[in-house]
Amino acid sequence: MILFGLSNEFVIRVIISVIFIIFIYFFVKYLDKLINKVFSRIDPSLRLEVKSVFSYVIYVLGALIAISIISPQTSILDVIILLLGLAIVISFADVLRNWGIQFLLRGTKSFKIGDWIEVDGIFGRVISIEDNGIFLETARRERIFISNIRLINSIIINRTTPIGYMYRVRIYIPQTVKPLEALERVKEIVSKIKGELSSEPTVLLGLEKNMTVVDLTMEFLNVYKLEVFSEKVLEEVLREFPEAVIKRI
């Protein structure tokens, strides 16, 4: 039987394709609700990006499958689907990688806008979180962009605390100076800037090979004074112990 010049087989294929497309539409709607539920604690803007990516991929794949149902030229269509699939993967490779990094960074909530963080020795306040990275503003009002790829490959230290901004260093002092004496001298140096701190500084003593190790933690009330006074402390430490080695931690 021929309907409007079309064979029954072709009409059936079209009907099946339409039903399949309707199914895909409702499946995407269900997926939208599922993502909202599963990722309820994730940033809303990131959830929207996740839903957009999944919806786009599912609609494209659904359209290709619907075409394959209608078309009798399966061998040619298989090649077209393969080429289109490869094109989608290649074109979205960077987008998907960047999205994955965003998902990881925002999902862990290691920092937020307004936090003071340190990335590879760069210390600054997070002023903007973009799709491809973040902008930091240093205490000297310099703006620095750090890409997502660099963030994911770096150690991120959030220096923001409920009562101030944390600064930590480890001081290696040769044991030509007695350990307890070195500890007391460091405490004396830190006491000179005590008025700028939001809490009692923590000064811990340790030993490593032939070195006295002093771990110093300070919390500053004013982040813009952090660099000035921390440098002042370190300068005095080096004057007191010229052979000391200082590492930021």
146 and 234 part of one domain:
no
Which of these three, 98, 128, 158, is where a domain ends?
158
205 and 177 part of one domain:
yes
With beta carbons less than 8 A apart as the criterion, state whether 153 and 212 touch: no
- Inter-axis angle of helices 223-240 and 179-191, nearest 10: 140
Q: In which region does residue 114 sit, left (phi positive, over 0), alpha (psi from -120 to 50) or beta (all else)? A: left
Angle at 205 between CA 203 and CA 208, to 5 degrees: 140
18 and 104 part of one domain:
yes
Query: Is 74's pLDDT higher than 60?
Result: no
Span 210-246, pLDDT tens digits: 899 999 988 887 777 777 888 888 889 999 998 898 8
Can you give the pTM of this predicted structure? 0.51
- Could you tell me the CATH number of the domain that includes residue 129? 2.30.30.60
100 and 179 part of one domain:
no
Q: Which residue has the higher pLDDT, 69 or 215?
A: 215
Residue whose C-alpha is closest to residue 241's, from 194, 209, 233: 233
**Could you list the residue range(s) of the whole structural domain that residue 66 is in?**
2-108
- Could you tell me the CATH number of the domain that includes residue 100? 1.10.287
For 57, 131, 133, the CA distances from 45, given in Å and listed in that order, are 19, 10, 14
191 and 149 part of one domain:
no
- Could you tell me the CATH number of the domain that includes residue 205? 3.30.70.600
Where does the pLDDT of residue 172 fall: very low under 50, low under 70, confident under 90, or very high at 90 and above?
Answer: very high
User: In the chain, pLDDT over 90 holds for what percent of residues?
Assistant: 5
Residue whose C-alpha is closest to residue 232's, from 187, 192, 178: 192
58 and 148 part of one domain:
no
> Positive or negative, the Cα torsion across 228, 158, 221, 244?
negative
Cα distance between residue 3 and residue 221, in whole Å: 82
136 and 88 part of one domain:
no
How many structural domains is the chain composed of?
A: 3
Query: Is 198's pLDDT higher than 70?
Result: yes
Cβ neighbour number for residue 163 with a 10 Å cutoff: 11
152 and 167 part of one domain:
no
49 and 104 part of one domain:
yes
Q: What is the DSSP letter of 141?
A: S
189 and 126 part of one domain:
no
87 and 177 part of one domain:
no
With beta carbons less than 8 A apart as the criterion, state whether 222 and 197 touch: no
Q: Is 2 helix (H, G, I), strand (E, B) or coil?
A: strand
